[in-house]
Chain A
């Protein structure tokens, strides 16, 4: 059942969009091409961020410094059924979207996207957003200085998102 929902979500969206487009007498193919062209702009703005983050994150992670941190954290993580490899992702997710994407890519490379760690990292990335970045950008744009309790509420949502991602993946796929 759950598998069916997961697998049907994308086809249903595609069919709905295309059918509604034809129903509203849109030249669906032309409009599709026009939209797909926008991806070039998006990729060009994304590339420098990814390059910068891959550069820094890879130096940091491959230096092996985290392996020392894990030795202390291992008993606690084992108890909570959290794979240690996922920790950098949890820390970076609210701060930077591209760096957590880089970590996700590394996890896929090392453990495969279908491993438990791979699935867990996918769900964490998919169910949370870069709270710090969004708050800075959105409040900055209208010159708000006092952000009151927004950071706490945002980070709390991230915490619950990450926790439920770990529990759900352990339960569904563990």
Chain B
């Protein structure tokens, strides 16, 4: 899918430039993209480094683990099919906590482990189970408390108050997760296998 979109952007954009006689602009944009991407990566790099440093302390000291344990009782309510003390709850908890602290890519390994472990409970191996779907809704609705990438991008564009958006983010994230879970429950009742 992403391959088609990429192609679509380039071809439609280029043809439109040619069509409207904007060839100079097109040339400029093609060459500028290299420069812009370096600029952007240098903008977000330092804050990501800072955050990963802090998060390493949180991981090594066991703080994340502790937070995951606090989350488990809630998760058992959301995932009634998972038996008590099954490993998948731990992976799901770790994944949700990492996402909360804006560790997007660091959350992926625990997410994949959670899926693998949910697959062992799955009866039809080529079909998504209800728990898997609930987990992915939780994951894609983006439970984020602090989005470091956005804050760092705001800092680098000289925002007067880079963290001003944090409360709004938390509220919007909460609403989207909640509605995602409600939708998930409604659809799972309608689509029983």
> What is A's interface to B at a CB cutoff of 8 Å?
2-3, 5-7, 9-10, 13-14, 16-18, 20-21, 23-24, 26, 28, 31-36, 38-39, 42-43, 45-47, 50-65, 94-97, 99, 101-102, 104-105, 108-109, 112-114, 118-119, 122-139, 141-150, 152-154, 156-158, 160-162, 164-165, 168-169, 172
Task: Check if B75 is an interface residue, CB within 8 A of chain A.
Answer: no
Contact present for A147 and B128 (CB under 8 Å): yes
When chains A and B are docked, how far (Å) is the Cα of A6 from the Cα of B166? 5
Nearest-neighbor residue (CB-CB) of B111 within chain A: A138
Contact of A38 among B56, B115, B153, B180 (CB under 8 A): B56
When chains A and B are docked, how far (Å) is the Cα of A33 from the Cα of B26? 43
Given contact pairs A145-B127, A152-B183, A164-B176, A157 touches B141 in the complex (Cβ within 8 A) = yes
Q: Which of B36, B99, B119, B176 has the most C-beta atoms of chain A within 10 angstroms of its own C-beta?
A: B176
Task: Check if B10 is an interface residue, CB within 8 A of chain A.
Answer: yes
Contact present for A112 and B157 (CB under 8 Å): yes
| A-side contacts of B128, CB under 8 Å | 139, 144, 146-148, 150
Contact present for B168 and A59 (CB under 8 Å): no
| A-side contacts of B12, CB under 8 Å | 60, 63, 65
Nearest-neighbor residue (CB-CB) of A136 within chain B: B1
Contact of B57 among A31, A57, A142 (CB under 8 A): A31
> What is B's interface to A at a CB cutoff of 8 Å?
1-2, 5-6, 9-10, 12-14, 16-17, 20, 22, 25-26, 29-30, 32-34, 36-37, 40-41, 43, 45, 48-50, 52-63, 99, 101, 104-105, 108, 111-112, 115-116, 119, 124-128, 132-133, 136-137, 139-142, 144-147, 149-151, 153-154, 157-173, 175-177, 179-180, 183-184, 187-188, 190-191
When chains A and B are docked, how far (Å) is the Cα of A129 from the Cα of B150? 13
For chain B, what secondary structure do more than half of its interface residues adopt (helix, strand, loop), or is it mixed? helix
Nearest-neighbor residue (CB-CB) of A5 within chain B: B167
Contact present for A32 and B57 (CB under 8 Å): yes
When chains A and B are docked, how far (Å) is the Cα of A22 from the Cα of B120? 39
Contact present for A58 and B33 (CB under 8 Å): yes
Contact present for B165 and A104 (CB under 8 Å): no
B115 shortest CB reach to chain A, Å: 5
Contact present for B176 and A39 (CB under 8 Å): no
A163 shortest CB reach to chain B, Å: 9
Instruction: Give 19 new A-B contacts, CB below 8 A, not counting A13-B146, A172-B168.
Output: A5-B167, A7-B163, A21-B61, A38-B52, A51-B37, A59-B17, A65-B12, A101-B149, A113-B158, A126-B173, A127-B176, A128-B141, A138-B136, A139-B115, A144-B132, A148-B127, A148-B191, A150-B128, A153-B187
Nearest-neighbor residue (CB-CB) of B46 within chain A: A39
Contact present for B116 and A134 (CB under 8 Å): no
Contact present for A51 and B160 (CB under 8 Å): no
A23 shortest CB reach to chain B, Å: 8
Contact present for B52 and A50 (CB under 8 Å): no
Contact of A34 among B56, B137, B167 (CB under 8 A): B56
The 9 A-B pairs with the shortest beta carbon distances in the complex, nearest first, are A35-B56, A157-B180, A161-B176, A127-B172, A36-B53, A157-B141, A129-B142, A39-B49, A59-B13
